[in-house]
């Protein structure tokens, strides 16, 4: 997702590290982090994914006054059923691959931008879910000095039907 | 903390338990922190009745994030240069995950690792690679 301004903040890093069950002090303790090789708090390796928080239009976040496809009284808040079970992930498709290249490790105080390029698309016949439609996006994160800090490549997949269990 | 090239050999492995009996609440924590509120991860009613799955399931990126903890514990903080994965099977509440890094080679101060995360049945849920600077 393209993001104009992704301010990297200490409390967000702490919450993100907690959510992946990582209690490493380098993600929340300034004093401890000063004595480590990076010399300060840094973000965990997959933190850039949370740039979704800074995309005002991110489609997997409910927004005030807008319909939301999750459940309330009914199983979905969208009157018209979203596709015919299409997507295999309930609207967002499924995440097939994710790759990161770290040019520098980011930390609190960095202000990033994310620019997105559409990559390749391809199709495959899946045993457990029918036709699979893959699409690739490449996201480049630059810092406040215009330096490239992270290159991310994601592959999403939409399935013909939910994946058999 | 950091690894030393002279102590690394192809085939060396490092394994950590990532989670025992994954809780729905942890998936909710990940949704909140990452900003990915896709209801298939937190909304049982939607996921069963509309999406057609037996229950909510973890974000692939939660599994990748937990696997990243194993990697940074192994290679040291700020040492990763690459980390990439394929999500090969869904992760469900109640799952217990183990992640292993296997040394493939060490070249010019960089260790290349094969990365794999499996569930309690031995099913591979994440398969990938990482590279890190070593001393």
For chain A, list the domains and their CATH numbers.
Answer: 3-8+48-159 (3.10.129)
The answer to whether A100 faces chain B, any CB pair under 8 Å, is yes
| Band of residue A84 on the pLDDT scale cut at 50, 70, 90 | very low
Angle between helices A10-19 and B60-75 (to 10 degrees): 100
Residue A62 in 3-state DSSP? coil
Q: Which domain holds residue B32?
A: 5-133
pLDDT at position A129: 81
pLDDT at position A85: 47
Average pLDDT, chain A: 91
Indicate left, alpha or beta for B31 from its phi (over 0: left) and psi (-120 to 50: alpha): alpha
| Band of residue A80 on the pLDDT scale cut at 50, 70, 90 | low
Percentage of chain A surpassing pLDDT 70?
92
Cα(B95)–Cα(B49) distance, integer angstroms: 22
Shortest Cα distance from B107 to chain A (angstroms)?
Answer: 17
- Taking an 8 Å cut-off on Cβ atoms, the answer to whether B33 and A16 are in contact is yes
Point out the residue among B33, B52, B77 whose CB comes nearest to the CB of A26.
B77
B27-60 pLDDT, tens digit each: 999 999 999 999 999 999 999 999 999 999 999 9
Identify whether the C-beta of residue A36 lies closer than 8 Å to the C-beta of residue A30: no
- Taking an 8 Å cut-off on Cβ atoms, the answer to whether A96 and B68 are in contact is no
Q: How, if at all, do strands B124-133 and B110-118 pair?
A: antiparallel
- Asked whether the predicted pLDDT for residue A54 surpasses 90, the reply is yes
Closest-CA residue of B relative to A20 is B66
Point out the residue among A36, A53, A102 whose CB comes nearest to the CB of B80.
A102
| Band of residue A86 on the pLDDT scale cut at 50, 70, 90 | very low
Q: Which of residues 127-156 of A touch B (CB under 8 A)?
A: 153
- Asked whether the predicted pLDDT for residue A81 surpasses 80, the reply is no
Residue closest to B91 by CA, chosen among B26, B14, B37:
B26
- Asked whether the predicted pLDDT for residue A157 surpasses 70, the reply is yes
Identify whether the C-beta of residue B105 lies closer than 8 Å to the C-beta of residue B31: no
- Taking an 8 Å cut-off on Cβ atoms, the answer to whether A85 and B51 are in contact is yes
- Alpha carbon A23 to its chain centroid, in Å, reads 21
CATH of the domain at B34: 3.10.129.10
Q: How many residues does chain B have?
A: 135
H or E stretch at A19: helix A10-19
Point out the residue among B26, B34, B50 whose CB comes nearest to the CB of A50.
B34
Percentage of chain A surpassing pLDDT 90?
79
Residues of B in contact with A61 (CB under 8 A): 35, 37
- Taking an 8 Å cut-off on Cβ atoms, the answer to whether B90 and A98 are in contact is no
- Asked whether the predicted pLDDT for residue A64 surpasses 50, the reply is yes
A101 class by beta-carbon count within 10 Å (0-12 exposed, 13-18 middle, 19+ buried):
middle
Average pLDDT, chain B: 97
The answer to whether A58 faces chain B, any CB pair under 8 Å, is yes
Mean pLDDT to the nearest integer, A59-79: 93
State the total domains in chain B. 1
Percentage of chain B surpassing pLDDT 70?
99
| Band of residue A89 on the pLDDT scale cut at 50, 70, 90 | low
ipTM of the predicted structure?
0.97
Mean pLDDT to the nearest integer, A46-62: 96
B76-105 pLDDT, tens digit each: 999 999 999 999 999 999 999 999 999 999
DSSP β-bridge partners for residue B13: B102
- Asked whether the predicted pLDDT for residue A90 surpasses 90, the reply is no
pLDDT at position A12: 98
- Asked whether the predicted pLDDT for residue B23 surpasses 70, the reply is yes
């Amino acid at each position: 997702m393209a993001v104009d301004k992704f301010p990297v903040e200490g409390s967000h890093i702490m919450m993100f590290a907690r959510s992946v069950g990582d209690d490493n002090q380098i993600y929340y303790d300034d004093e401890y982090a000063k004595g480590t090789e990076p010399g300060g708090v840094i973000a965990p390796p997959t933190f850039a994914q949370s740039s979704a928080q800074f995309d005002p239009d991110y489609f997997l976040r409910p927004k005030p006054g807008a319909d939301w496809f999750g459940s309330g009284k009914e199983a979905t808040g969208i009157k018209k059923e979203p596709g015919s079970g299409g997507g295999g992930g309930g609207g967002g498709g499924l995440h097939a691959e994710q790759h990161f290249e770290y040019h520098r490790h980011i930390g609190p105080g960095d202000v990033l931008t994310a620019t997105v390029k559409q990559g390749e698309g391809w199709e495959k016949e899946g045993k457990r879910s029918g036709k699979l439609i893959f699409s690739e996006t490449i996201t480049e994160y630059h810092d406040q000095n215009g330096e490239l800090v992270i290159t991310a490549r994601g592959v999403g997949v939409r399935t013909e039907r939910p994946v058999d269990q | 903390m950091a690894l030393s090239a002279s102590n690394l050999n192809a085939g060396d492995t490092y394994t950590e338990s990532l989670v025992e009996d994954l809780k729905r609440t942890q998936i909710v924590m990940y949704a909140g922190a990452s900003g990915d509120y896709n209801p298939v991860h937190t909304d049982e009613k939607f996921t069963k009745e509309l999406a057609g799955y037996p229950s909510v399931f973890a974000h692939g990126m939660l599994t990748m994030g937990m696997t990243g903890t194993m990697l940074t514990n192994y290679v040291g903080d700020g040492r990763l240069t690459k980390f990439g994965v394929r999500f090969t099977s869904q992760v469900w509440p109640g799952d217990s995950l183990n992640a292993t890094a296997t040394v493939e080679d060490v070249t010019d101060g960089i260790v290349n690792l094969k990365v794999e995360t499996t569930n309690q049945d031995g099913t591979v849920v994440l398969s990938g690679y990482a590279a890190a600077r070593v001393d």
